[in-house]
Amino acid sequence: MALRYAFIREHAEMYPVGLMCRLLGVSRSGYHASRCRPMSPRDSADIALIARLHEIDVEHRRAAGVIKMWRVLRAEKNPCGRNRVARLRRCAGIQTLRTQRLQSKPAPQQKEPPAPNLVNRKFKVAVPNRVWVGDMTQITTRTGISHLSIFLDLSTHAVIGWAMGTSQTAALAVQTIEAAMERYRPPPGLVCHTDQGSPYGSKKFRDYLESKGAIASMSRKGNCHDNAVAESFFSNLKNELTHHFVYEDHAAAVAAVKDHIEVYYNTIRLHQSLGYKTPAQVQAQHMCC
């Protein structure tokens, strides 16, 4: 109740007091009586914490749940408990955006025989630049469909290469992995795992892998769970970014994706599978070893 009264006091110059009392389920007399009582240190701390929770909610694209927010606060040396975070989230009306569960894709057409599934759902890899996973997705703009292509490192979950185009082609797949190869220069024997989409089954893509000493690996036909890490990335991307906006054109979509990947995903977003660290933090740990 004290938090509701405090909210009304802080916003009294912005909204009618009677309206706020009605919406928050408190009486006007109770609110006016509360103004004569000093706010407790606990209530003051809760109000400050709610403000920080709203900031975290924005920083993490409205996708951070109770545990992730609590982990962020712990990293900031804030000693609040998980139950307190849950309570204050409810008081503040903070809700996590949700997406649908993964569903199997229909089997795509391809020209080359599929590569064997060398990953076989073994998604935990100890060392970077040993197994990369790739995939493509569509992003709607007002002028047409843009296609986003990415490669992730299974060890760090970092997006190590990405590119966008107006069509889903072998050239786009090569452009994506070429950017990652030039930046990270993996040793021979790198496994590159994808679905059986035609860009990855093309001679152009296969020849590029062979020229770099990399080995192709593919999911089973129509089975998205064989490439769950890449699928999960796109699920989160849509949840945190593309499902909430319609971009004016391809260039606007590229700018938004660049910000999401390079500013947010790789450097800010905490990953439960990484022990609530960011991909950049895990990459830095491997570089120090």
Q: Quick one: pLDDT at residue 1?
A: 62
One digit per residue, the tens of pLDDT, for the chain of length 289 reads: 677 777 787 778 888 888 888 887 888 888 788 777 777 777 778 878 888 888 888 888 777 888 888 888 988 888 888 898 888 888 777 877 665 444 445 444 456 689 999 999 999 999 999 999 999 999 999 999 999 999 999 999 999 999 999 999 999 999 999 999 999 999 999 999 999 999 999 999 999 999 999 999 999 988 889 999 999 999 989 888 887 778 999 999 999 999 999 999 999 999 989 999 999 999 999 987 6
pTM, rounded to two decimals? 0.69
The CATH class that applies to domain 131-288 reads: alpha beta
Q: Quick one: pLDDT at residue 104?
A: 45
Residue 178 tokens read as 């070429």
**Could you tell me the residue ranges of all domains in the chain?**
2-92, 131-288
Q: Quick one: pLDDT at residue 42?
A: 79
Q: Quick one: pLDDT at residue 139?
A: 94
